[in-house]
Chains A and B, each alone.
Chain A
């Protein structure tokens, strides 16, 4: 996987962000177009390609969710946007209550829902971390499938939280 390669890493879902940053800075010094400002055109173009790859890689890998999506995509998983009507079954109740609260503009209820969703998201992140470790230990497709499920739920909750925050800031 190119993004890991350009940073001199083996594909891993758990990354040390300090180490990642150090690698990014070191590679930037090497590849950035500023280093080739007066080089022949072909070399300048190469620096442009490589340093954009490096930047794209760093931007993706430093975010756990984007990183996992990248690995999923490169392992043949479809990570396309989930349609909004596909409410995860275990969230049906929650979503129903939130919609009620939003409709009635019931601020305390909306706030309470926000707190619950944040807690749910934290739980998912916890579980994601565990699955990441599991995959790093043994790269099995089954683990990735579980991760994709978690990511879908997480995205769903993110969207709900956005709705909550939009309402609360109005």
Chain B
């Protein structure tokens, strides 16, 4: 515990902005010259090396090709979800889910079990290191972006990932809103803009009103399972069928072949954004497959996927109370908006030429850095007013959801409800909180259950408990309760339906500290051995020197003993022991060193005379 208080307290340190993407992640920082990316883009892939240590980013992406069962990618798709939610993903992604995954998914990666927040934490830690290397100081606070359409559990899971990585997440910011911040900086002061964000795994659409530095989100919509991944999976499926008929055997069960094909399919897809035709190829176990793919055919294949983005766009316009003509500008974000067909779809829908000036890969991280600047107090005039993407409600009689806070309400938002008892003397009231737009409990997402406990025993209906539901600026639910008769706070113990408990997160933080300690100890041992190496080498040399033979017998023996002892402790794991014996050898060879020094000086003096 105290370790963290030390970390987070003290003088204001720098706050970075992080885009923790499904496919790629980046970290950025805003100084007086504006926001800039720190280090390079990090593929959101985590792998376990043969020695059990973690590889993150490019190295992990390479490992994914040769040892697919040692690597995870697209883990953001699993953030804050339960095993029932991900049956669809399991068909398409090589996720190995292990037992006990009901409320938090546990992935099997090589011999380790990891939850999605822990995978995210690995990526965040890598970004943190990159930022620290460039900024030259420890970083402990960050703004992290999430898809606007993320629900409460997905947001909480992202925050947990930060905590596990040793980062206090000062604010979660919606990705399209962050993009608008990056764009709005030196652009127009007034107007209505739409941000269309199609990345690898998620789609978001947000409509914002800009007014004098205030970015007011009017409405947001999206699909947390729609993006470039879906295009990849479609092309992979087609190619696999093609290969099966050509080679006469199906390789779809072979992860190595599938991962190779996946990489080639992605590269073909990305090329087709710039050239009219290319090939999809697979060289595997001496066999060769090759198929030509034209942009025209690709467009035919992906039209249904691109069209799936249009419904949310229309719904968003409707919720914002705007007609298409009232949108002044459209901003494109996310790698998949490089696809010409996507651009055309956006152009057709919004009847406007979309903005693409900023690199769609970087714009979200840049915006996160702007928001980090706002929170650090460095950016004065900018203020973000965001909304909650989903309605919040509670279960009432007959499995029906009563909406308390409607979607697209500006956050923080709150509502206070009165509850009472239905039986005489009832001491507890159970409340079930849900998120979603549907009418029935079974069609909404269960967020949490909590119990109002230890109510005074009263006749039915007399108790008056006021429960305040608050969605904070991160889009995360907080619940407080009060006995309206006594004015006393009531205990509320919220049990999230999905996600890690506080204790689990704490345990993961402890584990990462333990690992950090292990790493640190190991480094100390290595350093001690390096020092011992130098010492041993020097003595080895000295033994050739006249000074060694000039030593009294006893001293030579003593030095030899110290030398042997150092050799004996050399392989121990205790750096103190190694260092102690280095010191002992040092003492034992003190006069030897002095003698050698003198000889050297004499030699040097003689040398000058000769010259």
Contacts and interface: CB of A to CB of B under 8 A. Distances in A.
Contacts of A28: 214, 383, 385
The size bracket of the interface on A is 10 to 19
Counting chain A CB atoms within 10 Å of each CB, which of B371, B377, B470 scores highest? B377
Given A25-B212, A33-B473, A48-B473, A38 B375 contact: yes
A29 interface: yes
A116 interface: no
Contacts of A37: 170-171, 375-376
B412 A38 contact: no
A59 B387 CA distance: 12
Contact of B374 (A25, A34, A53, A58): A34
Contacts of B383: 28-29, 32, 34
Given A25-B211, A34-B473, A48-B470, A56 B171 contact: no
A53 B414 CA distance: 7
Contacts of A34: 171, 371, 374-375, 383-384, 473
A2 to B, nearest CB: 11
A14 interface: no
A143 interface: no
A52 B374 contact: no
Nearest to A31: B412
B264 interface: no
A59 B473 contact: no
Counting chain A CB atoms within 10 Å of each CB, which of B171, B211, B371, B473 scores highest? B473
A55 B409 contact: yes
Interface in A16-43: 25, 28-29, 32-34, 37-38
A56 B414 contact: yes
A25 B171 contact: no
Contacts, number: 55
A25 B213 CA distance: 10
B411 interface: yes
Contacts of A29: 214, 383
B12 interface: yes
Contact of A56 (B211, B212, B415): B415
Contacts of A59: 409-410, 413
Counting chain B CB atoms within 10 Å of each CB, which of A28, A34, A51, A58 scores highest? A34
Contact of B214 (A25, A38, A53): A25
Interface string B369-395: 001001111000001110000000000
Interface in B208-231: 211-212, 214, 216
B12 A38 contact: yes
Given A34-B375, A38-B375, A48 B412 contact: yes
A25 B374 CA distance: 16
Interface in B388-427: 409-415
B484 to A, nearest CB: 16
Given A25-B211, A29-B383, A55 B170 contact: no
A26 to B, nearest CB: 10
Contacts of B412: 33, 48, 51-52, 55
Interface of B: 12, 170-171, 211-212, 214, 216, 371, 374-377, 383-385, 409-415, 470, 472-473
Interface of A: 25, 28-29, 32-34, 37-38, 48, 51-53, 55-56, 58-59
20 contacts: A25-B211, A25-B212, A25-B216, A29-B214, A32-B385, A33-B412, A33-B472, A33-B473, A34-B171, A34-B371, A34-B375, A34-B384, A37-B376, A48-B470, A52-B412, A52-B414, A55-B409, A55-B413, A56-B414, A59-B409
